[in-house]
Structure 1
């Protein structure tokens, strides 16, 4: 009879909890969905339903446990030789629940405070995120505040708000005043302080790089001896895609301690200089060399006529004079292609006018000038087509 009663009580508990779940879903579904909309999705409906399901499951478990303990106590208490064991068993099972219940009642006000604090902090962070999102999109502008600073500044403000919330919540955490909790907190603090020195250095360097406006996403830069495009800027590292399509990760502390060349920052305003050096013999007039170099610039698509290109004269060597042609472009990402096209144009122009390029140096004049006749410019397997643009495509 006792086992039958236990089975009936368990079945009744399961049926009641299921009915309770259906009733809650029917009565509260629209209200919970409205609460999610009114809170701007700060309070999620699925999380509320998960909490309700967990509460109903806990009630079911407690009901089944209580029915089982009651039935077991009734069965064992019916015999004199097991009555003492039944009392001890009941005390062993009920006492932890009693202690937990008393502790829960004692900590309930603190738990309510922690829940309210978490909701307030979440709401504040949501508002801060909406504000900085508007700044990043340009809908909200502030004097002397760049749009690319929006998300780094949001992360800093978020850390400050969360840190303040943790400080406020610490005294209300259950067990925070115990020696074990204090020991664990001390151990975690020591581990973090010993293991995060380089991480903190990279984090500070990342913030300084951001607010100094050293570069931004998409810029063509040279960091140390690595040249590439900035693809990602994180708090700890910066990612570059090199000219050979390689992904390079550089720690922000290394960037801060080194030098950065930004090719894109002034490309649109003042232009970048593409240059190339050639060595020409003393028997060739410098005016002719300068004119040919300017012709080579004019034949290179992408190089600007204004500002005007210019020629610099370098070393007067043992066998040749060093000339450097300098021309402007306004596309930092095309510098490599333009430099290659300029080299081709220089070779074509000097071959046309029969002027021999003397670099590398040689020991004696050759019997025949080292030039390529125009008739042989497209010797097999080369085809007659415009250079430079075809490669770029």
Structure 2
């Protein structure tokens, strides 16, 4: 404007531009000064909301760490309850502060707010369902972090639970993420809820033919259970006869363990011990169809093979046996030769009698 004001033909234009800029800045300043009371009110409301959130955080952290105890309120509910109340406080704060925002009464601002609200509600249906499912799961106390569970055919340890998903680490060291809505709609098997107090019951079954007495089968199964590591002796394992089928009896071995995270290994060891126990006891575990069409073939009981002796101990006896065989051959041959001679001598008198 200073340069344009040096010339007569542009001086009026420069004065008009300077006046427009001055009026705009003056209007903004007056608007800011006028908005200061509303801004102060909005800041006070936001400050109060912040203090309320801080107070809620302190209370629920105390509940979570069990420094504060509320009757009927479990510590695992504290985190979710805090998030819900914080969200409620923030929503109420936005509703109260909204009229004090500059331009909040303009139709354009209201139209944009409505458009964003509709867009968010239509696009977040699945997300909202997962959030609601996560809240329901929390207050039903289906599981906690670190529990060993089975959800939707996925077995493992709970390592994380967020507002949208639950993560499980399987025994194969694989992390599986399940949406909270899927967790809520499926059954949850929690192996850790009673593990430390009374333990969980492991069970496995075998089918044995009617030719084997049931006390013998029970004895072999109980011996296999007692030989398995991490199987508790109290309560003692027991065996049930679960079915009397056409060709076999179904037995179920039940045993208790407190090591829920070792379930796959305990089952493997238990099955191995059952096989060893029945092999030593001389009882074969066969298919009922195979048992029904038995045609005299060999038994299916595995034969226990001893490891072969070292080579130096095998070679020497073999040579000695061959030497003994060679030494005994002449003697055997001599004995065989003497027997025909004696037979000839006994036969000669008979021939002489015939001639006479």
Q: 1:364, 1:220 → 2: CA distance?
A: 45
Structure 1 residue 127 and structure 2 residue 55: aligned? yes
Tell me the TM-score normalised to structure 2 length: 0.81
Q: CA deviation at 1:196?
A: 2.3
Quick one: distance in 2 between partners of 1:287 and 1:366? 26
1:316 to 218, 233, 244: 244
Residue deviations 1:3-22, cap 9 Å, x none?
Answer: xxxxxxxxxxxxxxxxxxxx
Give the Å deviation of 1:366. 5.3
Query: Unaligned 5+ residue runs, structure 1?
Result: 1-71, 380-393
Aligned to 1:364: 294
The partner residue of 1:176 within 81, 104, 107 is 104
1:98 corresponds to: 26
Give 1:155 shift. Answer: 0.2
Q: 1:260 to 1:320 in 2, by over 3 A?
A: same
Residues 123-168 of structure 1: CA distance to partner in whole angstroms, max 9, x if unpaired? Answer: 2212221221122122212112111111101001101111111111
Q: Deviations over 1:221-272 (max 9, x none)?
A: 1112222211111122111112322222112122222211111111222321
Partner residue in 1 for 2:43 = 115
Moved over 4 A (4+): none
- Deviations, residues 19-69 of structure 1 (Å, cap 9, x unaligned): xxxxxxxxxxxxxxxxxxxxxxxxxxxxxxxxxxxxxxxxxxxxxxxxxxx
Quote how far apart the aligned CAs of 1:360 are.
6.7
Query: Quick one: structure 1 residues 208 and 366, their matched pair in 2 at CA, closer, same or farther if it must change by over 3 Å?
Result: farther
* Residue matched to 2:155: 227
Separation of aligned partners in 1, 2:249 and 2:133: 46
Distance 2:109 2:30 in 1: 21
1:244 aligned partner: 172
Deviations 1:316-354 (A, max 9, x none): 334332211111111221211111110011111111111
Structure 2: distance between partners of 1:213 and 1:173: 42
Larger radius of gyration: 2
Partner residue of 1:260 out of 188, 191, 212 = 188
Change (3 A) 1:194 1:275: same
Listed as ranges, the matches of 1:1-393 within 5 Å are: 72-73=1-2, 75-359=3-287, 361-362=289-290, 363-364=293-294, 367-376=297-306
* RMSD value, Cα: 2.0
C-alpha distance in 2 between matches for 1:344 and 1:180: 75
Q: Count the aligned residue pairs.
A: 307
Compared CA separation, residues 79 and 114, structure 1 to 2 (3 A): same
Superposed CA deviations along residues 187-234 of structure 1, whole A, max 9, x for unmatched, are 112112212222222211111110110111111111122222111111
Q: Distance in 1 between matches of 2:25 and 2:158?
A: 59
* SS of equivalent residue, structure 1 residue 352: helix
Distance, in Å, in 1 between the alignment partners of 2:239 and 2:295 is 26
- Specify the SS of the correspondent of 1:217: coil
